[in-house]
Amino acid sequence: MNPCKALLPAVVAALLVPATSLAAPPAQAATPLTTGSVRLDIASGRVEGDVCVSNLPDASKGSFVLNAGLNVARVTDGDGKPVGFDGWYDPGVDGEARIYTLAEPAATLCVQYVGAFPVYARHDAPTDFKGLMAFNGDSARFTEQSAWLPQAFDSKTRVRSSESRYDLQVHCGGCRFLYLNGSPAIEGAQGRFRSDNPRPVLLFGGSGPITCTAQVTILNETLPTAKVDALSSTVQKIADVHSRYIGVPLADRPTFLRMVTLNQIERDREGSEWGFATWPTIAMSGSIGNVADSLLAGGEKAERRVQYIAHEMGHYYFGTLNRPQGPYFWVLLESSAEFLSIKALREISGDAAADRYIARLQSAIDKTDKPLPAFDAIDDNSDLGELYRYGYGPLLLLSLEKQVGEAKMQAFMRELLAAPSPKNWAELQGIAMKTGIDAKAWEHWRASCVAGGRQRCQ
Ligand SMILES: [Zn+2]
């Protein structure tokens, strides 16, 4: 029995929000499709893959990466013909992965591989991080960063194709449940997972509990009903606000994943926590119950969690339906999600909460003495650090809203979602003009808030 059905069938979801011109996701560049099967075993740490990747980006048809702990048995094209490759000796390395170079570019790449990893059943590993293929004795955690599946690799830009559509069969010895990012979790030790949306492919298999409501999936931890309800109702509220604002139903629901890290003993001793979000997965080393506790406590504790969850849920739009590229990548991905989270915070927790949050962002900008790249002069070389992505970018969007009004700003955000990523300022302005923002207002915003990388509008 599968307790975690696909949560919002498209037909039902469509009824929740008025139809708009945005029903179809925006046009996207070719996205890889990963198919095949992977076997793993929780007790032994062994992993075996027989996986093909097709629809590769042109620039990435000549190489691929795979976790350094995995051994390539053979590489073939889509028809089973062997493909020669380099990487046996003196291989190139990209972080936690080895780089393999094909003798000739292949449109479809099939890789058979096998490897085994240390099992830290006592949680006493020297380290843990997102790039490890992590076996902790009762679970396996392979994130997209760990390259547990072959990923096409552009050797010029050194960029991995870490997001993929997939159709994968997974067998996991010792697992009670299996979860692949972007698909409903299943109870059982094997299953077939499919996603037509490109996703960062994260696998988690474990022997712990699993809870599914219409709004949330909670993996590897049992929570009392009151806490599950607190999470569910917050997620529901955020989904409603986002769906209404963007005019496209938020079809994903978050999966909260409790991790017991490989070095959990040390973390517990230090009282340190670690987490990451790979939409729709929100993973944390501490208890998911802490999130629910904060929501139930109310006040600023709750506000922070609401804003955080709303930010992550914003990545359904900016990151999943629209996958940003180019010089505005970080702003389109993170500042947009942040802007949406502030909208949700205002509706759910009130004006005071939203204003407090905005004031915090502004004060972080006021404090920096690092010059901010001017938003109207950004190119591929611009260094948009965390402060820019999560602080300055959202403040710029808010100042634009002040200039043009809420209705036009909403139209602008919807158009940003529907349009291919702007490649320069003129294209960004084109998107604004298309949504009825007047050229004078745009120019006034540029001159008073944007030009020269101002820290505040003048
Ligand atoms: Zn984010």
315 Cα–ligand 1 center, Å:
7
End-to-end CA distance of the chain: 61
Please give the pLDDT value at position 11.
Answer: 40
Residue 334 CA to ligand 1 center (angstroms) comes to: 5
Alpha carbon of 356 to ligand 1 centroid (Å): 20
Q: How far is 108 from 431, CA to CA, in rounded Å?
A: 36
**Rounded-to-integer distance, Cα 201 and Cα 278, Å:** 9
Using the mean position of ligand 1's atoms as its centre, give its distance from the Cα of residue 151 in Å: 22
What's the pTM?
Answer: 0.91
Instruction: Give the Cα separation of 152 and 64 in Å (integer).
Output: 4
| 252 C-beta neighbours (distance < 10 Å), count | 19
Q: How far is the CA of 122 from the centre of ligand 1 (A)?
A: 32
Å from CA of 314 to ligand 1 middle: 8
Name the architecture of domain 36-208.
Answer: Sandwich (2.60)
Side chain identity, residue 400 = L
The CA 40 to ligand 1 mean position distance, Å, reads 30
What spacing in Å lies between the alpha carbon of 331 and ligand 1's midpoint? 10
| Residue-range domain boundaries for the chain | 36-208, 329-453
Question: What is residue 29's predicted lDDT score, i.e. its pLDDT?
Answer: 61
Buried/exposed 378-408: b ≥16 CB within 10 Å, e otherwise: beeebebeebbbbbbbbbbbbbbbebbeeeb
pLDDT for the residue 3: 62
CA distance 40 to 47: 4
What is the pLDDT at residue 5? 67
What is the pLDDT at residue 22? Answer: 44
- pLDDT at position 9: 45
Q: What's the 362 CA to ligand 1 centre distance in angstroms?
A: 19
CA of 310 to the centre of ligand 1 (A): 10
Instruction: Characterize the bridge pairing of strands 217-219 and 255-258.
Output: parallel
Nearest to 102, CA basis, from 89, 80, 113, 86: 86
Q: Measured in angstroms, how far is the CA atom of residue 313 from the centroid of ligand 1?
A: 9
Q: According to the model, what pLDDT value does residue 4 have?
A: 77
How many A from CA of 128 to the centre of ligand 1? 22
Ligand 1 centroid to 199 CA: how many Å?
A: 15
Please give the chain's pLDDT, 458 residues, in tens.
456 765 444 444 444 444 344 444 444 567 899 999 999 999 999 999 999 999 998 888 999 999 999 999 999 999 999 999 999 999 999 999 999 999 999 999 999 999 999 999 999 999 999 999 999 999 999 999 999 999 999 999 999 998 999 999 999 999 999 999 999 999 999 999 999 999 999 999 999 999 999 999 999 999 999 999 999 999 999 999 999 999 999 999 999 999 999 999 999 999 998 999 999 999 999 899 999 999 999 999 999 999 999 999 999 999 999 999 999 999 999 999 999 999 999 999 999 999 999 999 999 999 999 889 999 999 988 889 999 999 999 999 999 999 999 999 999 999 999 999 999 999 999 999 999 999 999 999 999 999 999 999 98
Q: How far is the CA of 390 from the centre of ligand 1 (A)?
A: 8
pLDDT score for 382: 86
The answer to whether residues 395 and 361 touch, using CB atoms and an 8 Å cutoff, is: yes
140 CA from centroid of ligand 1 (Å):
25
- Residue 181 has a pLDDT of 97
Contacts of 361 (CB under 8 A, 6+ apart): 390, 391, 394, 395
Q: How far is the CA of 311 from the centre of ligand 1 (A)?
A: 6
Fold of 329-453: Neutral Protease; domain 2 (1.10.390)
Amino acid at 25: P
Q: What is the largest CA-CA distance in the chain?
A: 66
Query: Which has the closest alpha carbon to 387: 370, 405, 404, 408?
Result: 370
pLDDT in tens, 396-454: 999 999 999 999 999 999 999 999 999 999 999 999 999 999 999 999 999 999 999 99
CA of 319 to the centre of ligand 1 (A): 9
Q: How much distance in Å is there from the Cα of 179 to the middle of ligand 1?
A: 21
